[in-house]
Amino acid sequence: NAGVTQTPKFQVLKTGQSMTLQCAQDMNHEYMSWYRQDPGMGLRLIHYSVGAGITDQGEVPNGYNVSRSTTEDFPLRLLSAAPSQTSVYFCASRLGGHRTGELFFGEGSRLTVL
């Protein structure tokens, strides 16, 4: 019973490099999302998806791309990393619709951009 799995757990990048944070869930959840966590800022929504092929922007989408080709996977891409993107990233998923607000979170990916 894996839940939400994120890889990698840690990553160091140089400014301008690109990378993809992977997120997979095995709960058949329609809704998936990416948050970043920064001290004093809480959790801020980057992008979210309500189903395969459907994505939308959250509060802080600039510098990030997403796609959703399957129900299970929701990767987050940084095309040209900047030091301001140093953060802890969390993927979260839940059932679709408004039946529940409970998000299930992964354990996070800590990214440092030098």
Partner 1 sequence: QQQVKQSPQSLIVQKGGISIINCAYENTAFDYFPWYQQFPGKGPALLIAIRPDVSEKKEGRFTISFNKSAKQFSLHIMDSQPGDSATYFCAARWGGTSYGKLTFGQGTILTVHP
Instruction: Give CA–CA dist 31/3, Å, rounded.
Output: 14
Give how many residues touch partner 1 by CB under 8 A: 27
By CB under 8 A, which span of 15-23, 37-45, 62-70, 73-81 interacts with partner 1?
37-45
By CB under 8 A, which span of 19-27, 65-73, 77-85, 91-99 interacts with partner 1?
91-99
**Residue 74 makes contact with partner 1 by CB under 8 A:** no
CA nearest neighbour of 47 among 9, 102, 16, 92:
92
φ, ψ (nearest 5 deg) of residue 84: -65, -10
Alpha-carbon distance values, 109 to 57, 95, 101 (Å)? 20, 23, 23
**Residue 64 makes contact with partner 1 by CB under 8 A:** no
Pairing, β 10-13 against β 109-113:
parallel
**Residue 10 makes contact with partner 1 by CB under 8 A:** no
69: how many CB neighbours lie within 10 A of its CB?
A: 10
By CB under 8 A, which span of 21-29, 62-70, 74-82, 89-97 interacts with partner 1?
89-97
Question: Under the rule (CB under 8 A), what is the footprint of partner 1?
Answer: 4, 31, 33, 35, 40-45, 48, 50, 56, 58-59, 90, 92, 94, 97-98, 101-103, 105-108
